[in-house]
């Protein structure tokens, strides 16, 4: 997707602080972190939102979730706890329409979110 910010990061058109990469997944630090750890885990294949997922994406979504957990473990925040969030569309505040799993941790997080 030419006009997608995260596709540009994936294709190295825009710099990012990358923390993990494999053939299907990229993870990078959020530019505006809301917690000591705030990482975005994204598929390299463009999918606009959770509303656009199909059954063929099930494995990919599982990889995003497992990767977030693995990064949390590397950072030593697994036992204390962390939050993983997919925002979808306007009411949830989605601003980048390429699915991304937020990994937030390193501090106590409030619930419910705003
Ligand atoms: P959303 O609101 O769509 O769930 O999350 C989008 C996230 O992308 C926000 O947390 C925002 O800070 C982050 N973001 C926006 N632009 C950039 C950018 O150019 N680089 C990085 N690393 N993160 C970005
Ligand atoms: Zn994209």
Asked whether 37 and 102 are in contact (CB, 8 A), the reply is: no
Q: Which of 46, 98, 100, 102 is catalytic?
A: 100
Give the integer Cα–Cα distance in Å for 61 and 31.
Answer: 23
Cα 73 to its chain centre, rounded Å, is 16
Residues with CB under 5 A from ligand 2 (ion): 1, 4, 6-7, 46, 98
57 lines ligand 1 (CB under 6 A): no
* Antiparallel, parallel or unpaired: β 37-43 and 82-85: unpaired
Q: What is the pTM of this model?
A: 0.98
Ligand closest to 96 (CA) is 1
What pLDDT, in 10s, does the model give residues 4-42?
999 999 999 999 999 999 999 999 999 999 999 999 999
Active site residue 100: yes
pLDDT beyond 80 at 84: yes
Coil vs helix vs strand at 18: strand
Alpha-carbon distance values, 56 to 8, 60, 62, 78, 107 (Å): 24, 8, 11, 29, 35
Cα 30 to its chain centre, rounded Å, is 9
Question: Could you tell me the pLDDT band of residue 2, with boundaries at 50, 70 and 90?
Answer: confident
What pLDDT, in 10s, does the model give residues 43-58?
999 999 999 999 999 9
């Amino acid at each position: 997707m030419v006009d997608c910010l995260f596709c540009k990061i994936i294709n190295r058109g825009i710099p990012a602080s990358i923390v993990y990469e494999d053939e299907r997944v990229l993870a990078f630090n959020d530019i505006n972190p809301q917690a000591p750890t705030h990482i975005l885990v994204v598929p390299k294949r463009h999918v606009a939102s959770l509303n656009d997922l199909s059954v063929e994406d099930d494995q990919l979504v599982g990889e995003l979730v497992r990767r977030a957990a693995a990064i949390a473990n590397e950072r030593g925040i697994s036992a204390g706890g962390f939050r993983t969030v997919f925002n979808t569309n306007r009411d949830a505040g989605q601003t980048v329409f390429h699915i991304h799993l937020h990994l937030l941790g390193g501090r106590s997080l409030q619930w419910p979110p705003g």
